[in-house]
Every structure is written in C-alpha cells, then in structure tokens.
C-alpha cells in the first residue's frame, strides 16, 4: 500500500521556512547550476545560485545564494557539449581545492587544452549554513 504526503509549506521546529531549513532530505542537492554560453557564460537554470563569475578562459565560479556550512561539501561538475570531447573538473592549486562556503570554481578542457565549453553543470551536496 502506497502512502502520499501533500503539504503546502514545510517548516522547521521553530516555524521557519527558509531554504536552509526547508530542504528536508540531507542527500538532496543544496545548489545546482546549468551554465550555457562558451565565452559569455550565463545561468540557464539553477537552485541556490546567486550569480556566476567568469574567472577567465575555461574558469567559471558559481556563487551561492545561501552559503554552505563549511568547505568540505561534495562538488561535482561536468559538461554536456556535443561538439567537444570535453571534461570539467574542480579547479585546484598546489595548495588544494578552490572552493569556499560561498562558491565553487571549475575549469573545462577540450581534447587538448583549457577551453570555454557550453553546457556546464555544477552540483553541490552537503550541509547549508
């Protein structure tokens, strides 16, 4: 027998219904961004994404509307461009990841070098602040 739950608003124990408290399942994405445009990236659709910052060739930063609790969250990025055999990865330096509680930064590569590639995705799971 299947059960069904229908509600208009979910609130925490104090009666708050903010994004940080109304996301019930811990495993759901806390931020996702579908980015289009190769050279002039724009947000095609998103959740908990305030803006993008173009950091240079192949480097795009998604800035969160609501911050993460810490910088140890899970971040996945990939591209879905048909014209390229391409890959996107979290941008790192010799000192580690470039992610903060407020944003994530990724870099995309074509078959031979860093390249602006259309159809990038950023997905973040973890705990909101």
Q: Convert the pLDDT of each residue in 7-50 to its tens digit.
A: 676 666 777 765 544 445 566 899 999 999 888 999 999 999 99
Supply the pLDDT for residue 12.
66
In a domain, 89, yes or no: yes
* Average confidence (pLDDT) over 78-97: 72
20 or 62, which is more confident? 62
pLDDT, averaged across the chain: 83
The number of distinct structural domains making up the chain is 1
In a domain, 84, yes or no: yes
Question: How far, rounded to the nearest angstrom, does the alpha carbon of residue 71 sit from its chain's CA centroid?
Answer: 13
In a domain, 11, yes or no: no
Question: In this model, does residue 103 exceed pLDDT 70?
Answer: yes
In a domain, 80, yes or no: yes
Please state, in angstroms and rounded to a whole number, the distance separating the CA atoms of residues 116 and 51. 18
In a domain, 92, yes or no: yes
Question: In this model, does residue 67 exceed pLDDT 80?
Answer: yes
Vertex 96: Cα angle to 93 and 99 (nearest 5)? 95
* Average confidence (pLDDT) over 67-85: 83
Supply the pLDDT for residue 27.
67
In a domain, 54, yes or no: yes
In a domain, 73, yes or no: yes
In a domain, 55, yes or no: yes
Please state, in angstroms and rounded to a whole number, the distance separating the CA atoms of residues 89 and 7. 38
Which structural domain range is residue 85 located in?
29-125
């Amino acid at each position: 027998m299947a059960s069904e739950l229908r509600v208009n608003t979910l609130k925490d124990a104090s009666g708050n219904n903010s994004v940080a408290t109304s996301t019930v399942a811990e495993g759901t994405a806390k931020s996702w961004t579908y980015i289009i445009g190769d050279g002039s990236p724009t947000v095609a659709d998103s959740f908990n994404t305030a803006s993008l910052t173009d950091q240079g060739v192949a480097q795009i930063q998604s800035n969160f509307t609501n911050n993460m609790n810490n910088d140890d969250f899970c971040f996945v990025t990939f591209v879905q461009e048909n014209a390229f055999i391409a890959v996107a990865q979290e941008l790192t330096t010799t000192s580690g990841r470039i992610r903060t509680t407020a944003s994530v930064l990724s870099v995309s590569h074509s078959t031979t070098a860093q390249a602006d590639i259309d159809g990038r995705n950023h997905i973040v799971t973890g705990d909101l602040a």
